[in-house]
Amino acid sequence: MATSSVSRGCFVFKPKDSKKRKIPVAADFFNKGDAISESDRLQFSTYESLWQQMKEETERFQDNLNEKIFDSLLSFIKNSHIHLNSKVNDWSYRMRCSEIPTAAVVLGVNVPDHEMTFQRFSDLVKQSLTPHVVCLHGKECTTVKQVLQKVLMHLLGGTVNDEEAEEEDMHHSTPLSQRRIHCSMASLPGWYKAITQTSGSGSPSKKRKSCAVEKEQAPPIVIIFKDLETFLPEVLQNFITICSNYIQQLPLVLVFGIATSPITIHRMLPHAVSSLLCIELFQSLSCSDHLTTVIDKLVLTTKFPFKLSGKVLQVLIVIFLYHDFSVRNFVKGFQLSLLEHFYSQPLSLLCCSLDEANGRIRNLAHGDCERIRQVPSFMRYVDCQDSEKQIELLTNDQYLKDDVQKLLKDLHIYHENYFPVLKCLHVFTSSLPKYPLGKQIRELYVTCLERNVWETEEYSSAFQLLGMMANNELVSLLQKCIDVLKSSKQQKPLTDIRQKLEEFLSKFQKLDDIAPEMHDKEGDENNKTSPEKSLQKKTDLYELQKTLMEMKKSRRSKKLSRFEALRMEVLEFMDKLVRQYLLPPETQPLHEVIYFSGASTIRRHLNATPRTALQTALSKPYNYLQNEALRSEGETITNTAPDICIVYKLHLECGRLINLYDWLQAFVTVVSASEGQDPDKPSKGQVDQVLHARFIRAVSELEFLGFIKPTKQKTDHVARLTWGGF
């Protein structure tokens, strides 16, 4: 039967072979269509080895970061039911017999990280305390029946099978599978008593001993609500009320995963229900501090040769701060950057340890040497050499290999000096008011990567503020810098810097020990004539600038004290270190080997734009289907394209309102030409029913995607919703 109007609705079509387009990963990423060369295999193996090292390091320090809260939670669960050993007539026992021990874990808004955190926590609980752990998601538990079903399936199904349950739990008349369907908590006490008696069975002496400590050693039942905010309040209230009726028979422990605030519990639960819980609050490490640790362990280190450029790091940080606060997604972005670097940069095979890179350099072919000569930073390096060396570098491959080895060694030394000096500079600038160069070291690092930091206005402002610091503050900062340098590799430049800072520190200490009275007198005189004393009281930016101008004028007319001269010497030394060691990576030859700078590529992968992807797929289906018959030039409409693509391109030629009949006729004309039919052959006003159905389906899909909508202005028209198509 032919239809005469466009149906409104949602249509789902499932193709037989649905191949989803995904970001290429692992070996498929390096398969560029041709035969895989030995160089590609070496690049892939290097990538795998480097990422495995980074992944293990990430997991190790993440476990260390969560160790404190995990230990607290394990201790809470272990001691949650100790009161069950009290006497029945004890008042505290009677008060707590109906309270369920509950741990409220505030994890923050970085929801994508919660899954990994709770997975690790549940594994620890199973290993050390109890095998009875149930994890619940709000989207899977929309009713009380579903919650009970999940709990019973995890506990009963995960511990014993149906046949063993029927043998061990004979007082139940119905089999276990049927009791699961009933979704009743009444089956749990008998099951729990059976498994605890089974674990304590043995000789009579062992039975007597197990009965004495049965309640103390009975493993608790831990139920974890991973995302408390997504549970329906009514479902949560009813489940807690049911559990409170069995708390004397079952050692239940609830764990609430909270993303926002602990007040969420009281908003979701009325007093009558929350009074049934014995709640203890646990606070995890903030996601910002977690990210700082990740950057320190993965980026600000010489342990891994791979580095990110300032723009790429800024993209990852912006996505973290303005999207999800997820450290897990930040690490995924870091992995994607590593993968893109090894895929797009042929010289990335040298992004490895120094000894391994030297061995690979000696085996470079002539084509690889030519690639090195074409690297922009190496070309600038060649231009700075004398004519004889330029000829050797451009014509002699062996000479080039020797020089590349030296350049990579210099690049390695550059990073060994860069990061300790960067951390020392951050120690000084992070102690200033208003944080001119940023509170976090990641902000300072991005600035140093993109430009000469000493040429920025923020750097000058920071050193002006440092010129007003007191003695005890400078001593504290110097001691922190010395500790940073001690934790770094003890090589020649860093040891000299550390010794120089130790000399400054001893001079400040002697300045206080030798002439404290003279120093106090000088300080009193300076306080009368200079505004330094009021610096701590000045928090307004205008007042700080005014104080700096007054100090600048006063220093021209008075002689510096011993303390001020020493302070100026320290700041000049720090400024010299910054200018010498914090040069941007672009100044180093062959920095492209280890630095990834494809910020636009990473942004395109991580910041998805659905509308752009849809328009590209509809206007250029060849990009996705890779069918040569779909290639088109310019804005031409290919008659072999899918129906929705033809309809989409035809609708781009229309105005705000689209006449459905004209649209249908244009569609039939294009499709009939592809099928070898004469579009003028059907009689006027008649359209093939199959083509009509295909048109209706394509238009309905466009409406579902949000490109058009019905309009009341004209019944046989639809309104166009998008503009600026591809």
Residue in the structure block whose two tokens are 């991580």: 606
pLDDT the model gives residue 1: 42
Q: Show the tokens assigned to 226.
A: 């991973």
Q: Is the dihedral of CA 48, 50, 54, 59 positive or negative?
A: positive
pLDDT the model gives residue 543: 74
- CB atoms inside a 10 Å sphere around CB 142: 13
pLDDT the model gives residue 679: 53
Distance CA 485, CA 499 (A): 10
- CB atoms inside a 10 Å sphere around CB 637: 18
Distance CA 351, CA 304 (A): 9
Distance CA 404, CA 592 (A): 13
Question: CA of 352: how far to CAs of 42, 118, 340, 357, 688, in Å?
Answer: 11, 35, 16, 6, 65
Q: List per-block mean pLDDT (blocks of 10 residues) for the chain, which spans 726 residues.
A: 44 43 49 65 93 93 90 90 54 62 91 89 91 91 90 72 40 42 76 78 47 57 92 93 89 92 92 91 90 93 94 94 90 95 92 93 92 95 94 94 95 95 94 85 94 93 90 92 89 90 90 55 49 53 74 66 90 95 95 94 85 85 82 73 90 89 90 64 64 92 91 87 68
Question: CA of 118: how far to CAs of 137, 222, 240, in Å?
Answer: 11, 12, 21
Q: Is the dihedral of CA 114, 119, 125, 130 positive or negative?
A: positive
Backbone angles phi, psi at 232, to 5 degrees: -70, 135
Q: Nearest-CA neighbor of 301 among 450, 420, 429?
A: 420
pLDDT the model gives residue 495: 92
Amino acid identity for residue 576 in this structure: K
pLDDT the model gives residue 211: 42
Report the first-to-last Cα separation within the chain, whole angstroms: 36
pLDDT the model gives residue 558: 65
Q: What is the DSSP letter of 302?
A: S
Q: Show the tokens assigned to 10.
A: 């949602």
Q: Is 262 helix (H, G, I), strand (E, B) or coil?
A: coil
DSSP 139-200: GG-SSHHHHHHHHHHHHHHHH--HHHHHHH-TT-SS-HHHHHHHT-TTHHHHHHHHHHHHHT
Contact 566, 478 (CB under 8 A): no
- Sheet (strand 717-720) strand order: 657-659, 717-720, 708-710
User: How long a stretch of residues is the chain?
Assistant: 726
Question: CA of 341: how far to CAs of 308, 309, 310, 344, 587, in Å?
Answer: 10, 11, 15, 5, 20
Torsion of CA 406, 408, 413, 417, to 10 degrees: 140
